[in-house]
């Protein structure tokens, strides 16, 4: 029950964050250049993108939890009570993926397009 409950809780948490972000005042959303990205002409597209990005973050976290729980179940079933080296591989993959996610996120929102491209090139190209 802990396994299923934890996975469902994480799914609800990451799913709920996207719904919550749409209702929060702009001042409570921590985003580079939030005044630009959450201005009226770009707000809906930015919130849609944030929703997708949070979905990827949540999926990665849930996959790590599933792998960890599976390794725990196997360790208990076979009597070794050790997770083995697979947990380190899973953790390394998770950390690399989350680092790439974070770098992509910061690069996407730290750039404010110049006046010449009308603000559409950055959203459309990423």
- pLDDT tens digits along 37-56: 999 899 989 988 988 888 89
Q: Please, are residues 80 and 36 in contact by the beta-carbon 8 Å criterion?
A: no
Whole-number Å distance between alpha carbons of 15 and 13: 5
Domain boundaries, the chain: 2-124
Residue carrying structure tokens 């029950």: 1
Q: Whole-number mean pLDDT of the chain?
A: 86
pLDDT in tens, 93-120: 999 999 999 999 999 999 888 765 555 5
Confidence of residue 61 (pLDDT cuts 50, 70, 90): very high
Whether the per-residue pLDDT at 122 is higher than 70: the answer is no
């Amino acid at each position: 029950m802990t396994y299923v409950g934890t996975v469902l809780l994480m799914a609800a948490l990451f799913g709920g964050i996207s719904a919550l972000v749409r209702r929060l005042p702009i001042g409570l959303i921590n985003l580079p250049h939030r005044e630009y990205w959450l201005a009226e002409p770009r707000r809906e597209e930015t919130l849609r993108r944030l929703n997708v990005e949070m979905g990827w973050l949540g999926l990665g976290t849930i996959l790590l939890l599933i792998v960890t729980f599976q390794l725990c179940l196997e360790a208990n079933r076979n009597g070794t009570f050790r997770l083995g080296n697979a947990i380190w591989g899973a953790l390394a993959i998770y950390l690399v993926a989350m680092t790439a996610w974070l770098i992509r996120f910061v690069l996407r929102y730290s750039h404010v397009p110049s006046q010449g491209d009308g603000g559409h090139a950055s959203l459309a190209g990423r």
